Structure 1
């Protein structure tokens, strides 16, 4: 595969990025932590059963971070990763040898009509202009190509965790559907996910609001006892089998599979 990509040193980080310690924590946790393992299971099952990708697809992982999803995406073809953070790409390079580029999600330094699949896995909420970011994804996808998007659900769950991750927003499913359709996509599957922890997350974040704010916000990534971690992974594997067939009505995350129409469909 030959792609013309800007070298990571050719552009600076134009928007706030995570504290380097947070990237380090993610790099250490992504292989075994329930959230990351479970999300990869959901992504894998949804793409296998609903993605209908061509053999040896060309995949773009927007906001690839430290590379925790790339091995899963490589099942479907060659992967290109882009991220706004040079620190993240440095960690990613320690795991993977795929093409990497430093770029913001709302301006992709890539040709139009290029990719079979684009993923934005907990990325859209970081962008200043999510409508523009979706339009950029639409532009770089081939006609008939697919995009897989995950975002945090429910604005009422906004917390210190979101501030630490430099989120701009959390989403309702109708809002995400409307934005995807406005960008020109057809929605193939929309579901909430990670439903088991919704009630405790609501309670924890409500209690958080009662205490004084910390000077530097921290994420909610906390170590769990191994049996609890395994139990949550097992639950998310059940969700992964369900989501390709039916929508889950609640959960702390939203997952959305969309398609760029073929040219003949645009003309109809």
Structure 2
């Protein structure tokens, strides 16, 4: 299996994960709200925001509608809707973007990306070294291995994180963990029940038919964000600040 295949979706997986209208699903609505809220706390979000692994550009479109200068790149050869192609690109390697564009990126989004990677630590290191103006990263990952299911296997997850394991991964040279915690607390007991009864999760997402129901559920998930962040949830979010390199005369050089 190629390295590219290990980090990208097939056309079938994209069709199942992102059917038309999925942007109106309660989970997508709530997650987009969380992303925007975290970005407002993140240094560099007033500059160019880059969503690495943007899929079909749902979150990028939402953020642009809410005042962020956001672009997206997706490694897979996914069909991005025509109205998003001006600011989202498929078959696009973030680390191979034009130097001028990379020099404008102040914040990076890694939304459900790290769990797919063979070397997430190396990927984070490359983010720091490739984007010279980078000030922060916003990271979201699936949480709690006790929730592991056929859904994770189908979509190529390597793991589900907990707070210690994600903190150990992201607390690296050049980065500082500013915020970290669980969210989507209400989904945790529901997914535990599915596991307890050995129910298989539906891998094909469906666009909502009753929008008022999904808006109501999304508001409920957003409201549970006021619960303590150490309470278990189905996902984890973190804000990472880039630590400026100390170039003062008394600092120790990294060179031998």
Give TM class, smaller chain.
0.7 to 0.9
**What is the rounded CA distance, in whole Å, between the counterparts of 1:218 and 1:54 in structure 2?**
35
- Contact persistence 1:41–1:236 (CA under 8 A): no
**What is the rounded CA distance, in whole Å, between the counterparts of 1:63 and 1:239 in structure 2?**
26
Q: Which of residues 222, 230, 255 in structure 2 aligns to 1:237?
A: 222
**What is the rounded CA distance, in whole Å, between the counterparts of 2:45 and 2:137 in structure 1?**
14
1:93 offset after TM fit, Å?
Answer: 4.5
**What is the rounded CA distance, in whole Å, between the counterparts of 2:176 and 2:67 in structure 1?**
21
Runs (5+) with no aligned partner, structure 1: 1-11, 212-216
Q: Which of residues 222, 235, 252 in structure 2 aligns to 1:253?
A: 235
Measured against aligned partners, the alpha-carbon deviations of 1:73-116 in whole angstroms (never above 9, x if no partner) come to 334543332222102xx2254534115252467xx214475520
What is the aligned partner in structure 2 of residue 45 from structure 1?
Answer: 37
1:219 equivalent in alignment to 2:210: no
SS of match in other structure, 1:69: helix
**What is the rounded CA distance, in whole Å, between the counterparts of 1:175 and 1:197 in structure 2?**
21
SS of match in other structure, 2:69: strand
What is the aligned partner in structure 2 of residue 97 from structure 1?
Answer: 86
- Mapping of 1:60-75 within 5 angstroms? 60-74=50-64, 75=66
Q: Which of residues 146, 156, 180 in structure 2 aligns to 1:156?
A: 146
Measured against aligned partners, the alpha-carbon deviations of 1:35-58 in whole angstroms (never above 9, x if no partner) come to 11100011111222x124364x11
- Contact persistence 2:107–2:134 (CA under 8 A): no
1:144 offset after TM fit, Å?
Answer: 6.0
**What is the rounded CA distance, in whole Å, between the counterparts of 1:257 and 1:27 in structure 2?**
29
**What is the rounded CA distance, in whole Å, between the counterparts of 1:66 and 1:224 in structure 2?**
18
Go from structure 1 to structure 2 and tell me whether the alpha carbon gap of 1:183 and 1:126 turns closer, same or farther (over 3 Å shift): farther
RMSD of aligned Cα (Å): 3.0
SS of match in other structure, 1:202: helix
Runs (5+) with no aligned partner, structure 2: none
1:140 equivalent in alignment to 2:130: yes
SS of match in other structure, 1:259: strand
SS of match in other structure, 2:185: coil
- Contact persistence 1:143–1:261 (CA under 8 A): no
Equivalent residue pairs, number:
242
Go from structure 1 to structure 2 and tell me whether the alpha carbon gap of 1:224 and 1:27 turns closer, same or farther (over 3 Å shift): closer
